[in-house]
């Protein structure tokens, strides 16, 4: 409808307003009301442009990570009382987007038909000699350089936690620290480790 009013405003010196309103099927009163509100529209447009400049500055300062909620909170902290929906509209119109947390997906898909691994610990979490009973697990952490595989082992005798991480993987699960930890501690015969769902067991 604004386009029709703008067309009438541009052509009213050539054709009469009444004729143009009949042609475009709009009421003359509506056209004159739109015309009277021109100053307020220009003021709102200028205010929106100034607000977009502030939003863009905050967005760049956040390394392009802030979305509507954080930008709204930052503007309020700076003393700017702005409606959250207005911020969302301006960010949408100017293609300003924050960083979204990616949907978490499982990296491990166990084989339901596989035979369960034997319980080497036997639910006995007590050890007399260090380095004879270990329990551990592995996880994958998202980093700026990709996925980091992190292995953690707990010695049941002294509750010593050893964490190893890196991009190296074992042939089964991606654990890069199991064998090195065992060799460093002098593991060998008589060493038992609990097996996690990844299927990695110390030798």
State yes or no: pLDDT of 161 exceeds 70.
no
The neighbour count for residue 133, using CB atoms within 10 Å, is 23
Q: In the prediction, which pLDDT does 37 show?
A: 85
Q: In the prediction, which pLDDT does 91 show?
A: 95
pTM of the model: 0.44
pLDDT in tens, 105-150: 666 677 788 888 788 788 888 888 877 788 888 887 888 888 788 8
How many residues are recorded in the chain? 203
72 contact partners, CB below 8 Å, separation of at least 6: 82, 84, 87
Domain residue ranges of the chain, discontinuous segments joined by +? 2-93, 102-203
147, 197, 154: which is closest to 176 by C-alpha?
147
């Amino acid at each position: 409808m604004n386009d029709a009013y703008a067309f009438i405003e541009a052509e009213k010196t050539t054709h009469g307003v009444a004729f143009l309103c009949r042609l475009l099927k709009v009421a003359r009163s509506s056209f004159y009301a739109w015309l009277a509100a021109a100053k307020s529209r220009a003021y709102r447009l200028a205010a929106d442009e100034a607000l977009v400049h502030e939003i863009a500055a905050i967005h760049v300062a956040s390394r392009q990570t802030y979305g509507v909620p954080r930008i709204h909170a930052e503007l309020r902290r700076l003393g700017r009382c702005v409606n959250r929906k207005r911020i969302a509209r301006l960010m949408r119109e100017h293609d300003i987007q924050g960083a979204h947390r990616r949907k978490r997906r499982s990296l491990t898909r166990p084989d339901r038909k596989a035979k369960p691994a034997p319980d080497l610990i036997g639910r006995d979490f007590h050890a007399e000699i260090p380095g004879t009973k270990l329990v551990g697990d592995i996880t994958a952490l998202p980093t700026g350089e990709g996925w980091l595989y992190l292995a953690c082992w707990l010695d049941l005798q002294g509750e010593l936690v050893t964490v190893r991480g890196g991009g190296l993987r074992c042939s089964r699960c991606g654990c890069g620290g199991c064998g090195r930890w065992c060799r460093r501690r002098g593991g060998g015969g008589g060493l038992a480790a609990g097996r996690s769902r990844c299927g990695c067991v110390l030798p």
